[in-house]
Amino acid sequence: MTGDLKIRAARTTLLQKIKRSGASYAMVAPFMLLFIVFMVVPVLMAVIYSFSNYNVMEAPRFFSFRHLFDNYLRLFLDDEVFMISLKNTMLFAVITGPVSYVACLLIAWFVNDLKPKLRAAATLFFYAPSLSFNVYFMWKYVFASDANGFLNSTLMRLGFISDAFPWLNDTRTTLMVVIIVQLWMSLGTAFLAFIAGLQGIDRSLYEAGMIDGVKNRWQELYHITLPSMKEQLLFGAVMQITGSFAVGAISGEIVGKPSPLYSAHTVIMHMEDVALTPRFEMGYACAIAVVLFAITLSINQLIRYLLNRKSDRTL
Amino acid sequence: MTIIRRIRYKKVGRKATRSRMGNAFVVFFLVLLAAFMSFPMIYTINTAFKPMGELLKFPPDFFVQNPTLQNFQNLSNAISNSTVPFTRYFFNSFLVTGLGTALHVLMASLAAYPLAKHKFPGRSFLFMLVVLSLMFSPSVVQVPQYLQIHSFGWLDTYQAIIIPMLINTLGLYLMKQFMEQINDAMLEAARIDGAGEFKTWWYVVMPAVKPAYLTLTVFAFKDFWNNIGPVMMYISSESKKTLPLALTNIMQGGIARLGSTAVVGLLLMIPPIVIFLATQANVIETMKSSGMKD
């Protein structure tokens, strides 16, 4: 009896709450409706279509229970190009992710010590490639494979090489070139967040640290600075990880699509290849999307968990 | 003077100091990195002002010797096989960027206010979705998005390259974090004065979050202005193409078009940098509240 009453009371208050929150819902509605249509629905579509052989021309035919995971099995067992692109994407993530994260932090740390005007100028300098990343095309002329390329002509003038080296065509260097360009444009949102985080730290903490025996800048960084900007560090990690898994268009524009022997092919590029003319294998492309989605999300969660645990121990 | 300053520093104990070697290393490191970061920009600027002779010179020079405006004057010829004047690309870029940025900032600010300051059922769920979406790149869902755009009949329209990008959740996230700092007493005062929620948002909240909406403007401007993937995928008629797409077209011309390519690159490069320059202090102010709590 009393339990029933309680449930009824809870129900009415929830209903009342919803009714009372009309203005709140009206305010989130424009953004959230579009968000559901263009983000939540596509994610669900990708998952559903990944169990079908949808190809745009005919209505999607879903696999029977026994063949449910055919697209996924094909990806890992029967698609050499996918395995290459997965390996490349992981390489990008493992190299550009941590390197750019540490670079963001170190450069922000150094820049923060400059006088205000110089600091503003340096911030702009380092953030400019993220602001205007379309200038990346200039790297094509820097690494151009003929003797006219800036790097080739410089190395030849200095006598390091006698013939032009095909930086954009040699399977040993294409991936490296894309990684360099990717690093060049990776001082983005995380970098700004770190600069802001450093500026927000209470100066008296450093004073207290000096009294407690902090001897040099590195100790100060480890014991005071990093623990005080934990939340920015977490936000920055999410930004950098997400970015490092999304390499696609830039690689295609620089070393070609596909690159020689797929040497710089990424998962995103492979997904586009499968989905666009002439293949239109939408179901299969959706399976690729789901795999990439799962990898990015779980690595983000893992790093989030690790960073949290780490900072709990040092604090 | 220096002695006085040093004594004062020691007394206040402002910060641990770096050794002189350490300082030298930091300066060296920063200058080297700054050179790397600005290399394509400086190369673009120099190339844009090179006369034909210098563009084709072998081996190429990095710096321009006799700067000229030739490449700027030739720009209209450079996009030769197209059926529209090159100013059309500028118009399209400004149209898409202006409209997209304005709508994104308005919608994200409007949605951020209840997420930050109201208590309503579903609030934490919605915010969880927003944080979750920061953890994967939108390009992951481009295949289903393509199917949607196709079925809406939006192929080759402006809305195909504006509307899906309005829901950049980074903007909503930053705005919500910033709004949380607003003093509740201020909102309460507005309500007592009889202002509805929309009025409170527009007259009390928005003026208080000026740094945040300027930041969202910078970020959205840069994203729409540089946007290339979706434009490549959805836009087919020349009259609707934006500047970055025109750039890739000119680039096909190879070394002979290098001058014009650099000019377009220069024109593409300037607007986001100018806007950031004007709002930098606000951006840093906003990013102070960007932290992720758990």
The pLDDT-based confidence of B6 (bands split at 50, 70, 90) is very low
* pLDDT value, residue A311: 63
Rg (C-alpha) for chain A, rounded Å, is 25
CA-nearest of A150, A140, A125 to A178 is: A140
CA-nearest of B129, B224, B97 to A28 is: B129
pLDDT digit string, tens, across residues A208-236: 888 888 888 888 888 889 988 988 999 99
Alpha helices in chain B (DSSP H): 2-12, 20-48, 52-55, 70-73, 75-78, 87-117, 123-133, 142-151, 158-162, 169-179, 184-192, 197-200, 206-208, 210-226, 229-234, 243-251, 258-287
Phi and psi (nearest 5°) for A52? -135, 175
CA pair distance B14, A283, nearest whole angstrom: 60
B33, B201, B222, B290: best mutation site toward chain A, by most A Cβ within 10 Å?
B290
Dig out the tokens for A17 from the structure: 């709450």
Mean pLDDT for the stretch of residues A241-248: 88
* pLDDT value, residue B255: 72
Chain B from 94 to 153: CB within 8 A of any A CB? 107-108, 110-111, 113-115, 118, 120-121, 123, 126, 129-130, 132-148
- Does any CB of chain A come closer than 8 Å to the CB of residue B194? no
Angle at A38 between CA A268 and CA B103, to 5 degrees: 115
CA pair distance A227, A206, nearest whole angstrom: 12
CA pair distance A142, A149, nearest whole angstrom: 5
Residues of B in contact with A301 (CB under 8 A): 135
The pLDDT-based confidence of B256 (bands split at 50, 70, 90) is confident
Q: Count interface pairs A-B at CB distance under 8 A.
A: 306
Residue B266 is classified by DSSP as: H
CB atoms A141 and B43 under 8 Å: yes
* pLDDT value, residue B19: 75
Residues of B in contact with A154 (CB under 8 A): 59
CA pair distance A258, B202, nearest whole angstrom: 50
B143, B197, B252: best mutation site toward chain A, by most A Cβ within 10 Å?
B143
What number is the ipTM of this complex? 0.90
CA pair distance A169, A270, nearest whole angstrom: 19
CA pair distance B106, A30, nearest whole angstrom: 10
The arrangement of secondary structure in B82-287, i.e. its CATH architecture, is Orthogonal Bundle (1.10)
User: Which of A111, A157, A206 faces B15 most closely, judged by CB atoms?
Assistant: A206
Q: Do A132 and B269 contact (CB within 8 A), yes or no?
A: yes
Alpha helices in chain A (DSSP H): 2-20, 22-35, 41-49, 70-78, 80-112, 116-131, 137-142, 150-158, 174-184, 189-199, 203-211, 217-220, 226-228, 230-244, 249-255, 267-275, 282-314
Q: Do A142 and B40 contact (CB within 8 A), yes or no?
A: yes
User: Which of A129, A157, A286 faces B144 most closely, judged by CB atoms?
Assistant: A286
On the question of pLDDT at B9 being above 80, the answer is no
- Does any CB of chain A come closer than 8 Å to the CB of residue B44? yes
Mean pLDDT (chain B) is 88
**Closest-approach residue (CA) in chain B for A299:** B135
On the question of pLDDT at B77 being above 80, the answer is no
**Closest-approach residue (CA) in chain B for A29:** B111
Whole-number Cα distances in Å, B10 to A113, A210, A218, B14, B57: 17, 10, 19, 7, 58
A62 forms bridges with which residues in the sheet? A52
Residue A52 is classified by DSSP as: B
B89, B136, B276: best mutation site toward chain A, by most A Cβ within 10 Å?
B136
Q: Is A213 left (phi over 0), alpha (psi -120 to 50) or beta?
A: left
Domains with residue ranges and CATH for chain A: 75-314 (1.10.3720.10)
CB atoms B292 and A268 under 8 Å: no
A52 forms bridges with which residues in the sheet? A62
CB atoms B143 and A38 under 8 Å: no
With 0.80 as the threshold, say if the pTM is over it. yes
* Beta-carbon contacts of residue A267 (< 8 Å; ≥ 6 apart): A82, A85, A86, A89, A288, A291, A292
The pLDDT-based confidence of B79 (bands split at 50, 70, 90) is low
Residues of A in contact with B34 (CB under 8 A): 122, 125-126
Mean pLDDT for the stretch of residues B216-233: 93
Q: Do B45 and B227 contact (CB within 8 A), yes or no?
A: no
CB atoms B121 and A122 under 8 Å: no
The pLDDT-based confidence of B252 (bands split at 50, 70, 90) is confident
Dig out the tokens for A90 from the structure: 């992981």
**Closest-approach residue (CA) in chain B for A142:** B40
CA-nearest of B265, B257, B67, B64 to A139 is: B265
On the question of pLDDT at B32 being above 50, the answer is yes
* pLDDT value, residue A248: 81
- Does any CB of chain A come closer than 8 Å to the CB of residue B5? no
**Closest-approach residue (CA) in chain A for B271:** A132
Residues of B in contact with A16 (CB under 8 A): none
Domain boundaries, chain B: 82-287
| Cis-peptide, bond into residue A278, ω within 30° of zero | yes
3-state secondary structure at position A29: helix
Q: How far is B70 from chain A (nearest CA, A)?
A: 20
Please, what is the end-to-end C-alpha distance for chain B in angstroms?
47
Residues of A in contact with B41 (CB under 8 A): 128-129, 132, 135, 138
pLDDT digit string, tens, across residues A265-315: 999 999 999 998 778 899 999 999 999 999 999 999 998 888 887 666 543
Place of tokens 């609707």: B240
CA-nearest of A141, A253, B41, A175 to A152 is: A141
Residues of A in contact with B252 (CB under 8 A): none
pLDDT digit string, tens, across residues A5-35: 666 666 667 888 888 888 999 999 999 999 9
- Does any CB of chain A come closer than 8 Å to the CB of residue B42? no
Mean pLDDT for the stretch of residues B271-289: 94
CA pair distance B249, B261, nearest whole angstrom: 9
Q: Do B59 and A153 contact (CB within 8 A), yes or no?
A: yes
CB atoms A216 and B251 under 8 Å: no
Whole-number Cα distances in Å, A231 to A237, B173, B217, B292: 10, 14, 24, 5
* Beta-carbon contacts of residue B216 (< 8 Å; ≥ 6 apart): B104, B105, B108, B109, B171, B174, B175
- Does any CB of chain A come closer than 8 Å to the CB of residue B283? yes
Residues of B in contact with A197 (CB under 8 A): 287-288, 291
CB atoms B114 and A199 under 8 Å: no
Q: Do A157 and B61 contact (CB within 8 A), yes or no?
A: no
CB atoms A196 and B22 under 8 Å: no
CB atoms B41 and A135 under 8 Å: yes
Residue at B13: amino acid letter: G
